[in-house]
Chain A
């Protein structure tokens, strides 16, 4: 059984995105609310606490939880921290496979693969390009 996990680049990107979002929210708080009031301080404390929890706990756990397994008969997708989910898809039921690469994915050399089957889809998020091509060929071959 082949096991695929996300690369460290993906975690770095998520951390950067979380940091940028935190800055954006901090900017909104500064612009909208009056400085020095109890509400202003409360919002900043909440923002800081949320950022620490997300950045140092949630995102690393989420990155660790996302594992994809491929064997001769099935594709298994694991993921989730608060609501862990495992999705099993039989390869013989796969109709076709889509490969999606945006500008950020191109910079990070990652690819998202969407597997379509009758009744549902499975998304394999941001895997490394080398693994993605192998996975794509294996699943497309299983689809045909």
Chain B
């Protein structure tokens, strides 16, 4: 009879914390204010009895849920059981694991509780195949059992400087994430501390705003400060998450650790890494900085988690460190590139956007003469991204291409405003599509669409490459001509 290990007892409360938080803080607040007066306590009980019953029910459900969950370490894998009425049992084999994660959150460290997550190539792309909150020593045993004992092999370690991590946080931060975080924080604080405190905080923010942005239209000032505030919060979150980053290669595994207060440890099976992706924007491309991510099922799955391999480095460091950590992924320069006569294909879409935006604002300018200064401001604001896009597309003409060396493909392309370089072994390519639009038929070029191995779909589109060279490098020769251009009927295969 198997004995299943349960999760850490604090999981009883954590698993229902979303529902508990709505009730418990107002109840505790009321109780604190009445703590020293017995008569008022009875009055409080008369009013809050229903809330107390609901709290006990929620904690009770949490206990039932905790009791129904357990794991057992077997010879070949982790056997995991979940549920009381609907019992789910699964066996996750050790050798199918692609990533094992150990996360020590700072607020759980005094309780010696650690999250352990494991993922394979199957299962949901949004959730880990195995995830539990365990006691620290149990978590250590589990993580060690997930890794086959190896002979002592040399460990190769990569330790980036803090300024490189700061650059990564600068690049990866986005205002929307920060704004959502702040709005959730203020809303939650209002529920806990009371609406009067929430109003007081907002009044203070408004006062500071008025002092800082004299001379700027109020609407523009509020939008600008919201974006700046949101971005700053996102930057700090990313910085705290990625500080003390290290990557170490030992044998068949790659171990990545990061986090200033909450430490995260990821154990990746190198054979299950799907691809390496280098992302640059216009600034980092001009400065020659590379931010390297790696794609393995289970790494970078959580919200706000980045699947980083190298936060930021120059070209020489990138080459040296990639050879150190993942010599299996050796990139090369693209040999198949767009021809000069395809340049107009790159420039036409952004030019069309600039013309369309300009025409639209000219029409608005003529229709609403009273708001010409506002219209002019908005026209400039909306033209900036279009001009930026034009510059990006011009640079992408020189960036795009495909190369192959020793069975490893290097794909270079642009997605929106980002320049991407993907290094992927041939066996991780699932499908190749060669697409040609009506105008591409006559110019002899095509778009190459490559799907790579992942839990969901990962697609790479490299546009406007010469057809013959693309077919040759991807081993897709002897394709039939499109039906409208065929001169004679070809027999079906």
Contact = CB atoms under 8 A, between A and B. Distances in A.
Interface of A: 94-103, 116-119, 121, 140, 143-144
B116 interface: no
A95 B121 contact: yes
Interface stretch (B31-39, B92-100, B364-372, B466-474): B92-100
Interface string B71-93: 00000110000000111111111
Interface string B117-140: 000111100000100000000000
B349 to A, nearest CB: 33
A101 B91 contact: no
B122 A102 contact: no
A96 B123 contact: yes
B90 A99 contact: yes
B68 to A, nearest CB: 13
A100 B120 CA distance: 19
B455 interface: yes
B453 interface: yes
Most buried by B among A94, A99, A101, A144: A144
A140 B79 CA distance: 11
B85 A103 contact: yes
Contacts of B85: 102-103
Contacts of A102: 85-87
A97 B455 contact: no
> For chain A, what secondary structure do more than half of its interface residues adopt (helix, strand, loop), or is it mixed?
strand
A54 B20 CA distance: 45
Given A96-B93, A116-B123, 10 more contacts: A99-B90, A102-B85, A116-B120, A118-B121, A118-B122, A119-B455, A121-B122, A140-B91, A143-B93, A144-B91
- In the A-B complex, list the 8 residue pairs whose CB atoms are closest, starting with the nearest: A95-B122, A116-B122, A144-B93, A118-B121, A95-B120, A98-B90, A144-B76, A102-B86
- For chain B, give the interface size range: 20 to 34
Contacts, number: 62
Given A103-B85, A118-B453, A97 B91 contact: yes
Contacts of B94: 144
Interface in B333-378: none
Contacts of A140: 77, 91, 93
A138 to B, nearest CB: 12
B89 A99 contact: yes
Among A96, A116, A121, max chain B CB count under 10 A is at: A96
A71 to B, nearest CB: 20
A98 B77 contact: no
B90 A143 contact: no
Nearest to B85: A103
A143 B455 CA distance: 17
Contacts of A101: 86-87
Contacts of A119: 455
Which of A100, A118, A121, A140 has the most CB atoms of chain B within a 10 A radius of its CB?
A118
A101 B93 CA distance: 21
Interface string B47-80: 0000000000000000000000000000011000
A101 B77 CA distance: 21
A97 B92 CA distance: 7
Given A96-B129, A118-B122, A118-B453, A143 B88 contact: no
Nearest to A115: B122
A144 B125 CA distance: 21
B110 to A, nearest CB: 34
Contacts of B96: 95-96, 143-144
Contacts of B93: 96, 140, 143-144
Given A96-B122, A116-B122, A144 B90 contact: no
A101 B82 CA distance: 11
A102 to B, nearest CB: 4
A8 to B, nearest CB: 24
A117 B123 CA distance: 7
Contacts of B455: 118-119
A95 B90 contact: no
B88 A99 contact: yes
A97 B77 contact: no
A133 to B, nearest CB: 11
15 contacts: A95-B121, A95-B129, A96-B96, A96-B120, A96-B122, A96-B129, A97-B90, A98-B89, A100-B86, A100-B87, A100-B88, A116-B123, A140-B77, A140-B93, A144-B93
A121 B124 CA distance: 9
A117 B87 CA distance: 21
Contacts of B129: 95-96, 116
Nearest to A96: B92
A140 B90 CA distance: 9
B453 A143 contact: no
A117 B89 contact: no
A47 B251 CA distance: 66
Nearest to B96: A95
Contacts of A144: 76-77, 91, 93-96
A65 B120 CA distance: 32
A118 B93 CA distance: 14
B91 A143 contact: yes
